[in-house]
Structure formats: C-alpha cells, structure tokens
Amino acid sequence: MSSIIQLLPDHVANQIAAGEVVQRPASVVKELLENAVDANATDIKLIIKDAGKALVQVIDNGKGMNVTDARLCFERHATSKIRLAEDLFSLSTKGFRGEALASIAAIAHVEMKTKQDQDELGTQIVIEGSKFVSQEVAVLPRGTSFAVKNLFFNIPARRNFLKSDTVEYRHIIDEFQRVALAHPNIYFTFYHNGSEMFNLPPTSLRQRIVNVFAGKTNEKLVPVQEETDIIIIQGFVGKPEFAKKSRGEQFFFVNDRFIKSGYLHHAVMAAYDGVLKDGAQPSYFLYLTVPPNTIDINIHPTKTEIKFDDEHALYAILRASIKHSLGQFNVAPVLDFDRDANLDTPYSYKDMKGATPTIQVDRSFNPFSDDKVNKHYAAPSSYSRKTEATANWESLYVGLKQDTDFDTDGGEMSFESETVTASLFNDEEVEQSVNIAYQIHKKYIVSPIKSGMVIVDQQRAHQRVLYEQFLVNMTVQQASSQQLLFPLDLYFSTVEIELIAELKQSLINTGFVFEDTHGDHIVISGIPVNVTESEVSIVLEQLLSDLQDGIPSSSFSQNDTIAKSMARSLAVKTGTALSVKEQENLVNGLFACKDPNVSPFQKPTFITMRVEDIDKKFAL
C-alpha cells in the first residue's frame, strides 16, 4: 500500500499559517510596527489606503538588513530574535516566531526596501503570493520600508469576509495606539488616504497618552507607582467621574507588550469598587514590568495572551496600588467625616523632610512706650457720644388713607371669603376624573381596560415611544431644537470625532445643532427638545458605544441604529417614580405607536390579564 502522508509545499504551508497570523489589515500593521520597533527605529511612519485593503506601508529608520537577510526574512521560522529554545524565557523583543513576513507574503503583494548604515546600496525585493518577482540593488536611505498591497488577493473568500472600511480602520487605529503607547520615546506618524491622523513626537508617558487621545485626557489621569520584588507597576488610571460605558481606553502592557487579561481587569474593577456607577468602565494605562522568565508569551500567534507564574500575587498588588493612588489623590471617599483634606500631605511630598522654620524678632518693639499707650488706650469717646433718635415705627403709617371697610374703633373687618370663579358647565355635568393608572414597584404601570387590566413595563414602553419619534424626525420631518444659552464643548478621541462627523446629518435631523467641529472636540449650540443639557454627553457616549462594530452602510439602518441608541439612553429607567399624568401619557403614547407590542429591541412592552383569569385565581 502506498504512503499517503506527504509534506506540504511551502506556499501552501504559508497560506495555512497566514490564517492564524493575518486575520485582517490591522494584523499586518501590528506585525510590521513591532518589527520596526525591534529594529531600534526612532522614527516610524505608517501609511494606510482604503483601511489597509489597498496599502499598508511602514517606513522606519532602524538598522536595516543586508542582502542575505533581506531574502531570508521571508522564509518560515526565520528570525533574528531567538536562537535556542531557552531564549523563549528571556525575550526582550516583540517578535520571535518568524512566521509574520512569510504569512504576509503568501497572501499579498509585498515590496520591501532595506539598507544598513554601513552599506552604500540597499536591496529592493518584490514578492507576490510567496513568489519572488524581482530582487534589485537600489539607492535607499537607512532603514526598512514594507509596502503590503492587495491583501488577500489570492483568497477572495477571506477578502469578502472583511468588514466595512470604517470597522477595519478602527482596528488599525487600535493596533497603532497600542504600539505608540508602549514606546513614547519613538516618533510615530500615521497617514490615512493622504491625511495625517497622528503626529506623535517623542515625549513623556503622560504626554504621549494625552497626544494619542487628545481632549481633556490630562486632567482625568491619576498616576500609579508601585515597586515590589516580583513586579514594578507604573502608569495612570482615570478618575471615576470620567468613566464611560465603553471599554476603549483600557490598556495593559507587560514588558512593553500590549496584553489582554480579564483577570487583571477584574483587579482594577475591584479597586474601583464603590466609586463607579453601574456599567461604567474606568480608563487605565498600566505598565507592568516582570522578570521575563516568570511569564509565557508563546500561547497564541497574536501574542496578546500571557501566562503568569503567580497571578494571585499580581492581582493583590495591582488592586492595592490602584486603591492607594485613588486614596492619595482624594478620588476615593473616606469614612473620616471630620478630616480636612487641605491638611493632607501631597503625594509628591511624602518622602520630603521638613525644613526648620526661621524665627524673626523685632528688637525695637516696646509695648510700654507712650505713643502705643496713647494710640491704643486713649479715653474712649463712645461714652460722650450722643445717640441719634430713631423714628418711631408708628410714623411709618402716618398719612395713610383710611379704608372705608376698616374700622379703627375696633369694629368688625369685612374680607372676601373666597375667590369666585365662573364655570361653563354645571357641577352635575362635570364627570369626575378617575385615576386610571397605577405604578407598581416603580417599574410597572397597571391600567384597567374593558376585559381586565394591562400591565406595562415603563422603560420598554418609553423606549418604543421615543424610538418611533426619532425615526419620524430623521425620515419624515426634521425635529425642532432648543437653543442653548451657552454652547456645549464635548471632548472625544480622534476616532470618535470621525464617527460623529459621519453621523452628523442624522443627528441634525433629530434636533442637534453643531456649531463647530475641531480636532479633539465638538461645539453643540442646540439640542433636541426631549433631551436635557446634562444628558447630551450620555446620549453621544451611548451612541458611540453602540457603533463599536461600525456604522451601517444603508441610511435606514444607520437611522435605525441611532434611534435605538438614543431611545435606550433617554427612556425612563426602572425605579423612577412617575406622576399620575406621566403614567397616563406613557400608556396613551405606547398604544398610539405603530407597533406597541414590543420594544425597539424586540422585547414585550406589556401583558394583559382578563377578568376571567383573575376570577380563576379566586376560584376554589
């Protein structure tokens, strides 16, 4: 019987590996940026076209490669990062697997230009789907340039499964921010379709965070610093009042490598216990430094998961250090109600020694000198002071005209007993209004009907009413706006500003009036009638959170998403007490909707109970 097991060709093996390593254009961005950092580059440029589908190019001024290395780097498991298996336990570089470039070259058109500082000429290589097209000598600057074009050109099914440009672009920004935040000492620039999106010169860690996320990021950062034998923690956490519903600004770095860890995230949330609203997510930028031999990075090709030797100790130290920082900066509440916060020692002064105070003595001072006595102990003139005669209070009423109905001799006074109002109808004709709606547990509204009663979920019902109102405003007629006396300045990140710009017309139809849009904030001068000024930021944050997966392509789907998000934010919440009039209006508004049976999220808004069903409950 002939053998059936055979070695796969290299180009087939590369395509299989590419399925793990390269999931989307953002994966290419991550691998190329990390290679540039490993090459000791101090200036890195990222150029993107069509959200990475047409072009992903990374240009660095690193150490470059010679002719042999330039050709060998595209082979599988060819790497300069490690040599022995033991090196996996002392990693100081981003990459080490040697699969990224081979995987990228298998599914795209790649053009690489590289040159070392000591060489006069560099090398230019063109590869299309693992096939070497050309290799030439070229005049190049020091460093390396990778241009990846037409991603997944030979795997059309994979290309068709890519999301919209907006979604892919957001993933690219996420990867760029992770590398840029981990290395504040490197100059990063980012261009998308010819426009400069980020320009990040080398700065301190705090300034790099502010430059990346713009807005008022600086005022919401609280520094965290802790050093122990097993871990060094530094970075920043956000103040509780700036917490958002989305988890966008949460970063863990271990030895300058971005990671995801639900366990460590739980430690951060435990430190914020009691100071956050329900569902709010704090922002944090935490940099952990641990010995390389105590972690295992080689778990997944993306290298975002890490196993720690002693996770429980890291959990306790991280939670304690964040709690300590929140307490030192008077962010977390304390139980000492008589404590004066102005008398606390500032965090930066805790290790400083106090200086000895200097004493100054006025040797010419004489308390018994004549001029002092005359000045301070002169006979008081207040004893001979004449008091002014004050007018009698009765003089205030002198000269007033006496009212004919007022008897000054002690007679009776006549007053009008009650206000007489005219009525259009007789009392017998006026039907007394009956309370037809009752609220139970501040959650349900019970209203009687002919066949029994209806029980309405107040939150879902209000969501349905608002949802249909917003849809009408966006599709049929533009809603009216209420002008603000003082325009609102709302600060957002670069990605969020772009999302709001794309949704601007739909938001205008709902009643928002945008006065201006800057690089890091927007100015709103008018808001919808049923939105209060304090709810504007909540509505927009919820909308941005709901659009994490991108904006729908069709206009109706886009309007539908916005209407659902705003209805969710503005609907009356469970636990809110409603007046009788509000209850009646809500019930009437629900049954005036086109589809009152379900909420915008396809959940029932009310149930009915017939009298017969109630009778059965009492039957013996």
Tens-place pLDDT, residues 530-544: 788 888 888 888 888
Is 151's pLDDT higher than 80? yes
- Element of type H or E holding 586: helix 580-591
Tokens 């006396």, residue?
Answer: 485
Distance separating alpha carbons of residues 567 and 587, to the nearest angstrom: 16
Q: Which of 257-261, 264-268, 411-415, 606-610 has the lowest mean pLDDT?
A: 411-415
| Section 565-573 average pLDDT | 86
- pLDDT of 295 > 80? The answer is no
Residue 273 has a pLDDT of 85
- Given a cut of 90, whether residue 42 has pLDDT beyond it is yes
pLDDT at 86: 58
Q: Is residue 411 predicted with pLDDT exceeding 90?
A: no
For the chain, the distance separating the N- and C-terminal CA atoms, rounded to the nearest angstrom, is 81
Of the two residues 217 and 98, the one the predictor is more confident about is 217
Stretch 238-256: mean pLDDT, rounded? 84
In the chain, the percentage of residues whose pLDDT exceeds 70 is: 78
pLDDT reading at 47 higher than 90: yes
Which of helix, strand or coil describes residue 232?
Answer: strand
Is the pLDDT at 376 greater than 80? The verdict is no
Q: What is the pLDDT of residue 509?
A: 81
Q: What is the mean pLDDT of the chain?
A: 79
pLDDT band at 415 (very low <50, low <70, confident <90, very high): low
**Residue 350: per-residue pLDDT:** 65
Q: What would you measure as the largest C-alpha separation in the chain, in angstroms?
A: 137
Q: Tell me the C-alpha distance between 43 and 345, whole Å.
A: 41
Task: Quote the pTM value.
Answer: 0.70
Which of the two residues, 93 and 146, has the higher pLDDT score? 146
Query: Which positions ≥6 away from 264 have C-beta within 8 Å?
Result: 252, 314, 315, 318
Give SS3 for 384.
Answer: coil
| Residue found under tokens 């935040």 | 181
pLDDT over 50 (residue 37): yes
Of 256, 214, 244, which Cα lies nearest the Cα of 544? 244
Specify the pLDDT at position 481: 81
- Mean of the pLDDT values across residues 235-244? 87
Q: Band of the pLDDT at 402, cuts 50, 70, 90? A: low
- Does residue 76 or residue 314 have the better pLDDT? 314
Distance in angstroms (rounded) separating the CA atoms of residues 499 and 342: 42
3-state secondary structure (DSSP) of residue 308: strand
| CA proximity to 175, closest of 163, 185, 187, 188 | 188
Residue 341 is predicted with a pLDDT of 59
How far is 12 from 458, CA to CA, in rounded Å?
Answer: 59
Highest mean pLDDT among 28-42, 63-77, 284-298, 520-534: 28-42
pLDDT of amino acid 587: 87
CA distance 423 to 227: 81
Phi and psi at residue 206, to the nearest 5°: -65, -45
Q: Which residue has the higher pLDDT, 564 or 545?
A: 564
What the block records as the tokens of 146 is 């990778």
The average pLDDT across 329-349 equals 61
Residue with more model confidence, 194 or 506: 194
Neighbours of 180 (CB within 10 A): 22
Burial 58-68 (b: 16+ CB within 10 A, else e): bbbbbbbbebe
